[in-house]
Amino acid sequence: MSTAIYTRRLVEHRYGRTLEELQRGNASDRSDDPVLPILLRRLGGLVQTDGNVRSARRNLDAAWQRSRSGEHVLDDLVLLYATEVVDLERQEQTETEAVWDLLDVRLLLDRPSAQRPPAQRAAPAPGDRDLLAIAREVAAGLLRLNREALRRGLRDRGVHVSNRRLGAVLQQLRAESATP
């Protein structure tokens, strides 16, 4: 499957409509997507470059076949077509990356604005006092207090805690160690 076809299918998948529907919606200005007109222009350029690449490959193949048949005068022509194919493939890759980047921008625009995460509790809940006592014992034997070392020490004692609870205990231990 060519890069242009794959990219077209990707665009259709991301928008949930066929390319023709997207073009009709964009032509009638019914689209409120600011990325769509740019995306469609870039995709059109990619399709045109894909056609140019295919044509250059056919020319290269024909020149190569004639050169192999004994017409050594055509070696320069083979080199010329090979250079053209390489240049067009680079252009196609650049255009493809531009379309993919625009799809990423569209995904970012579709996301709701960043909301504040719910406030984490700063200290362990009252039921975590036993956990805090065990964590203090573990922390006393550690050279450096960090999440993984504390988790490992608690597991060695048969205590398994969630990441959220471990974070709250770790915050409490660090606060205690910072207090003079």
CA distance 153 to 148: 9
Angle (CA) 166-169-175 rounded to 5° is 140
Q: What is the CA radius of gyration of the chain?
A: 31
CA distance 136 to 133: 5
Structure tokens of 58?
């056919």
pLDDT in tens, 10-26: 888 888 888 888 888 77
- Global pTM reads 0.52
Q: Which residue from 30, 83, 33 is spatially nearest to 56, judged by alpha carbons? A: 83
pLDDT surpasses 60 at 78: yes
CA distance 6 to 11: 9
Q: Percentage of the chain with pLDDT > 70?
A: 83
Dump the DSSP string for 43-98.
Answer: HHHHHHHHHHHHHHHHHHHHHHHHHHTT-GGGHHHHHHHHHHHHHHHHHHHHHHHH
pLDDT in tens, 86-115: 999 999 999 888 888 888 877 766 655 444
* pLDDT level of residue 116 (50, 70, 90 thresholds): very low
State the CB neighbour count (10 A cutoff) for residue 70: 8
**Residue showing tokens 């470059």:** 49
